[in-house]
Chains A and B, each alone.
Chain A
Amino acid sequence: MTTPDGLLRELRAILSPVSLITDEELLRPYECDGLSAYRRLPLAVALPEDEAQVVAVLKACHRAGVPVVPRGAGTGLSAGSMPHPQGVLLSLTKLNRILAFDPVARLAVVQTGVRNLAITELAAPHGLYYAPDPSSQIACTIGGNVAENSGGVHCLKYGLTLHNVLRLRVVTIEGEILELGSHALDAPGYDLLALLIGSEGLLGIVTEVTVRLTPRPQAARVIMASFDDVRKAGEAVAAVIAAGSIPAGLEMMDQGAVAAVEPFVHAGYDLEAKAILLCESDGTAQEVAEEIARMLAVLEQSGANGVRVSRDEAERLRFWAGRKAAFPSAGRISPDYYCMDGTIPRKGLGEMLTAIAGMEQKYGLRCINVFHAGDGNLHPLILYDANVAGQLERTEAFGAEILSLSVALGGTITGEHGVGFEKLNAMCEQFTTDEIRAFHAVKRAFDPPGLLNPVKAIPSLHRCAEMGRMHVHQGALKFPELERL
């Protein structure tokens, strides 16, 4: 076991002087990710420039028994890359090279710190793009997307990160290099590629990613439909899908969200509507015309009291700009906001929104709602002011109640933002003791000493028992074998 000073000496030998930060003032920008409510300073920030340095840093930390927290662009929303106070924060942004691009094979091999949008920019001249488009795509890295299994507004039709990554190079805490998946469509043995994607940096450090590129559809148009009732909008979504369409994008915003974005973006949204739907079709021009006509008929039958179809690309982008600006707009109308990420079976939408309206009264806080309606992923944005005593605590309680209801409705506590540090307690509601034990055992299979991103994503059984909420799950008390204080 090395001392922290000993480890820092070793890291200085591995990294160039500008690639190791220990000065408190320079550590400060790394104290949190996109969820700024949780902040800590790390022991040091390491910024390796290639895979060999990643291996050397991990081996040194492994020998020293020091935790390692990986970080991409720091746009995460669940405090997944919040530093460990005794640990090294491993920033991977310098691994930002495109290693190979093959338009015939429709794939790109990129280092982990390459930005999501940079891949699409690279492929665009060949009529190809990288399909997953999380709203942070200008900044977020592909390695971060792999860690979170990121989606975006088009994933109902084009899939999540999982469906668009073919192969990963991963370094274990022991410094071993693993190649998971392949440039063929599968690989022998257990599907460790699927296991790594969405594992939030707990199993290994991704250094290289092969992504599948998708041919850019020739045309795309989007319908904007207004509804005078949120439930009607939810039913319209179900009707579109029942009619046999998989829209390229299917998003809902409630009146509060529309009111927040419209003055900011001037997207042309209907401020009188209780909810608006954005419903996109892509493909050949004829195909889009056919599908738009089919979806329009269904939306009108479902009680839409206003529909507009984008007339050109500029208008289509404007309709989307409002949706994509929902989070910054919330930041404009409120000092702070807290974004939730539960996914529910769509049929529970009405019940969820009614319950959220009740919670607004109960906690004395406003909440605006944006919703990846096609796949049931809900993003309520709770508006608060951290400078007002008690508001953060009320906000957290409000969020926890939304997540409890997501589980009760048959859904999940996180659709795409990850558990991170933020939702550890909520994990105790979704999984049993045995399941959480299995997750810890899976982690140990990759990371026996438990040094990679500890105290994230999977709660300790102790934490679950101590939560003190005594959840009754499917008629049985959870963790019955544990004592309660």
Chain B
Amino acid sequence: MSLETFRERILKGGSLRIRGGGSKDFYGGPLAGEVLEVAGHRGIVSYEPTELVITARAGTPLSELSHVLAERGQWLAFEPPAFGGPATLGGAVASGLSGPGRASHGALRDFVLGVKVMDGEGRELTFGGQVMKNVAGFDVSRLMAGSIGTLGLILEVSLKVLPLPVAQATVRFELPEGPALETLNRWAAQPLPVTATAWEEGLLTVRLAGAEAAVRSACDTLGGERVPEAEATAHWLGLRDQTRAFFAGDAPLWRLAVPSITPPLDLPGATLIEWGGAQRWLRGEQIAAGIRDAARRAGGHATVFRGGDRAAGVFTPLPGPLDVIQRRLKAVFDPRAVFNPGRLLPDL
């Protein structure tokens, strides 16, 4: 689809539901508005491995990016989830979601270098750029990350890329939840090449990656049972894309983002812990207020990630002054409220 067509659709009036591959239709508030397909606006615009930067159109499938990067020994180190669908770059940036490596490599927003968007009045705007360090103008490109498409139609994105690790190993330990959390925090304060962690049902799985020597010596230091490579790859992919058994079924899935040192949360339901303790998944039909309170008391927040009652708002509401500013920013980029109504907040 050409930029002119996008502009006509935006200016026509009525609300639009921006859609890339549809892999994250389940995420955020209920879907509303006429579908605006972006998947056709695809293709890599520039990629120079020695600059560590790739620029691509929003509709480019993540699978295409991964393939092109892997050919040059590079990757998207924030491991954007595809949820088993034809996820696109634009959708990844709009959702702002990051995979298992987030606690060590950084989040998607940390890798965004620049964006080109079309605002709610059909204007093309470019923020950031294709270089690592850039402080000219406000950092609007990172504001787009995680805005769930409510601030504009993302057209093109430049991301920092990294070399694939030279060596990798996954080790496993039998540990109850509390000691597992203590162990994770102790390791995180040491210069160990831990790049992902997951705890579920008394098993702590840890991914080590980096230089050969670093991985070898960390394996010796940490001990544990070595997980065969194929099983390890499937394990981390299953976490990234939520294809593991833990995520199956219709029970609501809650995501709690809390400080990593938060002790086990006293909440009913099955738990899966990632990001060194900072991301905790919860399954079950609990009362939303109880979960939100528990997350808030710990210094974090809770999201209805899948299922449950989406109409009541899936994200933790913001305090008054922040909410005011958030609404003003929405009005800056989308004054006629064209994009993704209700997807971030029920009334935004």
Residues of A bordering B, CB below 8 Å: 102-106, 126-128, 148-149, 151, 155-156, 159-160, 162-163, 172, 176-180, 182-192, 194-195, 197-199, 202-203, 215-218, 238-239, 241-242, 244-246, 283-284, 286-287, 289-291, 343-347, 372, 374-377, 410-419, 423, 427, 430-432, 434-435, 438-439, 441-446, 457-458
Contact across chains for B325 and A192 when beta carbons are under 8 A apart: yes
Contact across chains for A194 and B163 when beta carbons are under 8 A apart: no
Residue B23, interface by CB 8 Å: no
Given contacts A195-B140, A438-B333, 18 further A-B contacts (CB under 8 A): A149-B139, A172-B321, A178-B321, A184-B258, A185-B107, A187-B301, A188-B301, A189-B344, A191-B96, A286-B211, A290-B214, A345-B51, A411-B134, A419-B136, A434-B124, A434-B125, A435-B137, A438-B140
Given A185-B278, A238-B50, decide whether A287 and B211 contact each other with a Cβ distance below 8 A. yes
Contact across chains for B125 and A435 when beta carbons are under 8 A apart: yes
Nearest residue, chain A, Cβ from B114: A412
> Complex formed: what's the CA distance from A199 to B109 in Å?
17
Residue B286, interface by CB 8 Å: no
Given A104-B261, A198-B138, A241-B52, decide whether A289 and B103 contact each other with a Cβ distance below 8 A. no
Q: Name 29 A/B residue pairs within 8 A (Cβ), A-sorted.
A: A102-B261, A104-B185, A105-B259, A106-B189, A148-B135, A155-B132, A163-B110, A179-B322, A183-B259, A184-B298, A189-B322, A194-B145, A198-B138, A245-B163, A283-B214, A284-B214, A286-B211, A286-B213, A286-B216, A290-B214, A343-B131, A347-B51, A375-B132, A410-B129, A411-B129, A419-B135, A435-B125, A441-B332, A445-B328
Given A186-B107, A189-B315, A442-B140, decide whether A343 and B132 contact each other with a Cβ distance below 8 A. yes
Nearest residue, chain A, Cβ from B52: A241
Contact across chains for A199 and B138 when beta carbons are under 8 A apart: yes
Contacts of B331 in A (CB 8 A): 445
Given A246-B163, A291-B211, decide whether A197 and B139 contact each other with a Cβ distance below 8 A. yes
Q: How large is the interface on B (under 10, 10 to 19, 20 to 34, 35 or more residues)?
A: 35 or more
> Complex formed: what's the CA distance from A189 to B124 in Å?
24
Contact across chains for A283 and B299 when beta carbons are under 8 A apart: no
Residue B257, interface by CB 8 Å: yes
Within the complex, what minimum Cβ distance (angstroms) separates A426 from chain B?
8
Contact across chains for B189 and A182 when beta carbons are under 8 A apart: no
Residue B162, interface by CB 8 Å: yes
Within the complex, what minimum Cβ distance (angstroms) separates B261 from chain A?
5
> Complex formed: what's the CA distance from A191 to B301 in Å?
14
Contact across chains for A415 and B326 when beta carbons are under 8 A apart: no
> Complex formed: what's the CA distance from A411 to B164 in Å?
26
Residue B339, interface by CB 8 Å: no
A-B interface, 6 closest residue pairs, ranked by CB to CB distance from nearest? A286-B213, A184-B300, A415-B133, A445-B328, A194-B142, A238-B50
Contact across chains for B166 and A244 when beta carbons are under 8 A apart: yes
Nearest residue, chain A, Cβ from B280: A184
Contacts of B145 in A (CB 8 A): 191, 194
Contact across chains for B137 and A431 when beta carbons are under 8 A apart: yes
The residues in B between 232 and 264 inclusive whose CB is less than 8 angstroms from any CB of A are: 257-261
Residue B143, interface by CB 8 Å: yes
> Complex formed: what's the CA distance from A336 to B203 in Å?
63
In the complex, number of A-B residue pairs with CB atoms less than 8 Å apart: 263
> Complex formed: what's the CA distance from A218 to B315 in Å?
41
Partner of A218, one of B119, B127, B191: B191
Contact across chains for B321 and A184 when beta carbons are under 8 A apart: no
The residues in B between 293 and 307 inclusive whose CB is less than 8 angstroms from any CB of A are: 298-301, 303
The residues in B between 179 and 218 inclusive whose CB is less than 8 angstroms from any CB of A are: 185-186, 188-193, 210-214, 216-217
> Complex formed: what's the CA distance from A126 to B325 in Å?
39
Contact across chains for B329 and A191 when beta carbons are under 8 A apart: no
Contact across chains for A415 and B131 when beta carbons are under 8 A apart: yes
Contacts of A126 in B (CB 8 A): 189
Contacts of B322 in A (CB 8 A): 178-180, 189, 192
Within the complex, what minimum Cβ distance (angstroms) separates B181 from chain A?
11
> Complex formed: what's the CA distance from A377 to B134 in Å?
9
Contact across chains for B318 and A189 when beta carbons are under 8 A apart: yes
Contacts of B214 in A (CB 8 A): 283-284, 286-287, 290
Contact across chains for A194 and B217 when beta carbons are under 8 A apart: no
Contact across chains for B138 and A442 when beta carbons are under 8 A apart: yes
Residue B316, interface by CB 8 Å: yes
Contacts of B163 in A (CB 8 A): 241, 244-246
Contacts of B193 in A (CB 8 A): 283
Contact across chains for B188 and A194 when beta carbons are under 8 A apart: no
Contact across chains for A186 and B257 when beta carbons are under 8 A apart: yes
> Complex formed: what's the CA distance from A86 to B169 in Å?
62
Contact across chains for A190 and B109 when beta carbons are under 8 A apart: no
Contacts of B164 in A (CB 8 A): 244
Residue B73, interface by CB 8 Å: yes
Within the complex, what minimum Cβ distance (angstroms) separates A407 from chain B?
9
Within the complex, what minimum Cβ distance (angstroms) separates B133 from chain A?
4
Within the complex, what minimum Cβ distance (angstroms) separates B317 from chain A?
8
Within the complex, what minimum Cβ distance (angstroms) separates A402 from chain B?
14
Contact across chains for B132 and A190 when beta carbons are under 8 A apart: no
The residues in B between 53 and 101 inclusive whose CB is less than 8 angstroms from any CB of A are: 53, 73, 96
Residue B226, interface by CB 8 Å: no
Given A178-B322, A186-B107, A195-B138, decide whether A344 and B332 contact each other with a Cβ distance below 8 A. no
The residues in B between 103 and 130 inclusive whose CB is less than 8 angstroms from any CB of A are: 103, 106-107, 109-110, 119, 123-127, 129-130
Contact across chains for A128 and B134 when beta carbons are under 8 A apart: no
> Complex formed: what's the CA distance from A185 to B278 in Å?
7
Contact across chains for A184 and B132 when beta carbons are under 8 A apart: no
Residue B49, interface by CB 8 Å: yes
Residue B309, interface by CB 8 Å: no
